[in-house]
Amino acid sequence: MRLAWLDDARGAGRPSRRYVVTSHAQEHLPKDHLAVALDTLARLEELGGEEEVRRTARHAFREIEERFTAAVDGRETALQDRTRILARVLDEAGYAGTLRHFGAGLGVIELTVALHYLYDTPEDRLVWDVGHQTYPHKILTGRRDRMHTLRQLGGISGFPQRAESPYDTFGTAHSSTSISAALGMALAAKHKGEDRRAVAIIGDGAMTAGMAFEALNNAGVADCDLLVILNDNDMSISPPVGALNRYLAQLMSGQFYAAAKNVGKTVLRPVPPLLELAKRFEQQAKGMVVPATLFEKFGFNYIGPIDGHDLDSLLPTLENIKSLKGPQFLHVVTKKGYGYKLAEADPVAYHGPSKFDPAIGLVKPSTPPAKTFTQVFGDWLCDMAAHDSRLVGITPAMREGSGMVEFHQRFPSRYYDVGIAEQHAVTFAAGMACEGLKPVVAIYSTFLQRGYDQLIHDVALQNLPVVFAIDRGGLVGADGATHHGAYDLSYLACIPNMVVMAPADENECRQMLSTGFRHAGPAAVRYPRGSGAGVAPLAALDGLPFGKGEIRRDRQGTDAKAPRIAILSFGTLLYPALEAAEALDATVVNMRWAKPLDTALLLAVAVTLVHTSSRSAAAVASIGSPNLLAIRTLAVLAGLWGSAMVLLRLRAGSMEPKRTFSPAMRKISCSRARLAR
């Protein structure tokens, strides 16, 4: 037993029971702490139901509140100091370890506090771009006691979600939508005669997307009250790129700015009473050299830049802006991971870490984890680049997530990070392909949706040889619906000239990438997040036969009365399909290609499934995302529309329905046969 019931401990503010970990459990705790925690929760639920578990969770958060109260000690503490204390308490309590998008939230604590302090939320609308940074926002808006459920089934979302809270005014997760949404809200308020404010908080990385500038262009001529806050932390997910970011960095670090900001201090140093005037002059010096002109040309009133961690600057500035009419643009400078030195030092690693001890930081696992599909792609990219000088790699600001770090290091002149600009990435690749290069676009499935028109118009219709390495295909877990790659097989299969592959394991992934690279037109290799079955990739770059699947298991039984089943598998569900086939004695087909379908193989499988008995059926199942496509295809080949269970007989290579069908089925099949003729 790992958990012992110590005694009843009923009382105000106390849990109904107290438990202790037994000595036996203590022996296993250092290496088996997760199992102990799960056993504890299970025992709590068994004894006290779900409410007991919830009560325990609430108790944990009350402890955080008590720590904060003790740290403040009832004294009048400045809002800035209280914010810093809260951040420290969360770190010390290990709360950081429950988070996912960690560094982004730490960077906007002060800004979040200031916005909720000054604006009448949720009546005033706050629209957070992407949503990585909204954990402080969720804590302040009534969800503190549910943060332990973050990114879990039935828990709160890792992104703003309208159904979760009225304070989440707009659902986000893809970048660069905030200005458009906030502008729509501001104009809607004006249309309805309502006096409320709309604020868009957008990062410098998200500002690289064309959609953000489309919104700025529209907002600048719109007669409405809109505030855009540029959270400039010199960081998106990967290190930021692009002319705008370079411009901001150069201005903030340039000699002219450094000299300008010091002029007032130099001149007024002998006159101490005028020191405050010197500080104001410094702010004016900033306005002379920062991109005020750029945003004011869009029709905005530009303010900034100001320190996003200095509440003494944030609060009065935001309060003044509230009284201004028309489109306003506030430029704040923050630091990703602010307040936690390890996150400040490595913002990429701490962007989306798994659970960790904040006192120690991220620790590499003692045993190397299984190779992921992303790593397989990264290795292949480097190997193929060494083999073929025409290869160039393109990413829309996802160097780390797409496995392109080594490629960037080894082939810097052939690596292109275009920023958060998926549409541009696709057409940029098309332009390179027109000139004889072989572009490989590494992109998440959910983000490729943003370049769909370019995929059709600029790549597919011109039949250009662009390889799309599509990561995060299928369900991706805790990031939820906005990040699921649930649509790619459907939206890719209908595009002319496009071929689509779905690898079953790591080796197939490598070989399919080689196949797509050698294809004379557009090709997509779609693979899931994480690791696969553990099949070591072969070093060769030979590829696979074009458009051909394979039979991985044949039906073994000879019983004429037993149902004959074939499982058509697409992608990584091949291995669960093989397990199921052992119990069902089914044929298993590794289809490999979602487009083109291997119809010759499907026909061959159909032949083996045909039985002469009227009571037998050839049951065709499919595992994987394109199941309806596969089932319908086989049904069409059989002369029947929309049927997953097909009863067939083959004569001299053609299909004909068995005469013992029901009248309704006979009518359908005969009609289809006439149409076919």
| Rg for the chain, CA atoms, rounded | 30
131, 133, 136, 140: CA torsion to nearest 10: -30
The answer to whether 400 and 423 are in contact (CB under 8 A) is: no
The answer to whether 283 and 297 are in contact (CB under 8 A) is: no
Give rounded-to-5 percent helix, strand, coil for the chain.
45, 15, 35
The answer to whether 563 and 616 are in contact (CB under 8 A) is: yes
Instruction: Provide the 10 A C-beta neighbour count for residue 543.
Output: 16
CA 605 and chain centroid, separation: 38
The answer to whether 343 and 105 are in contact (CB under 8 A) is: no
Distance, in Å, from the CA atom of 150 to the CA atom of 22, rounded to the nearest integer, reads: 30
Residue 300 in tokens: 């905005």
Backbone angles phi, psi at 333, to 5 degrees: -110, 120
Distance, in Å, from the CA atom of 186 to the CA atom of 194, rounded to the nearest integer, reads: 9
DSSP 284-311: HHHHHHSTHHHHHHTT-EEEEEEETT-H
**End-to-end distance of the chain based on CA atoms, in angstroms?**
72
Distance, in Å, from the CA atom of 21 to the CA atom of 1, rounded to the nearest integer, reads: 9
Q: 3-class SS at 148?
A: helix
Locate all alpha helices (DSSP H) within 519-662, ordered by sequence. Answer: 574-584, 599-609, 627-637
Give whole-number Cα distances, 2 to 8, 24, 32, 35, 611, in Å.
Answer: 19, 6, 11, 10, 57
- Which residues, other chains included, contact 47 with Cβ-Cβ below 8 Å and sequence gap of 6+? 5, 17
Q: 3-class SS at 43?
A: helix
Distance, in Å, from the CA atom of 96 to the CA atom of 354, rounded to the nearest integer, reads: 10
113, 117, 119, 121: CA torsion to nearest 10: 80
- Which residues, other chains included, contact 157 with Cβ-Cβ below 8 Å and sequence gap of 6+? 151, 164, 480
- Which residues, other chains included, contact 428 with Cβ-Cβ below 8 Å and sequence gap of 6+? 394, 416, 418
Locate all alpha helices (DSSP H) within 130-177, ordered by sequence. Answer: 135-138
SS (H, E, C) 57-120: HHHHHHHHHHHHHHHHCCCCCCHHHHHHHHHHHHHHCCHHHHCCCHHHHHCCHHHHHHHHHHCC
Backbone angles phi, psi at 420, to 5 degrees: -75, 80
Supply the residues annotated as catalytic.
336, 422, 450
Which helix H or strand E contains 121, and what residues bound it?
Answer: none
- Which residues, other chains included, contact 400 with Cβ-Cβ below 8 Å and sequence gap of 6+? 237, 238, 348
| Residues constituting the chain | 677
- Which residues, other chains included, contact 122 with Cβ-Cβ below 8 Å and sequence gap of 6+? 141, 165, 166, 167, 169
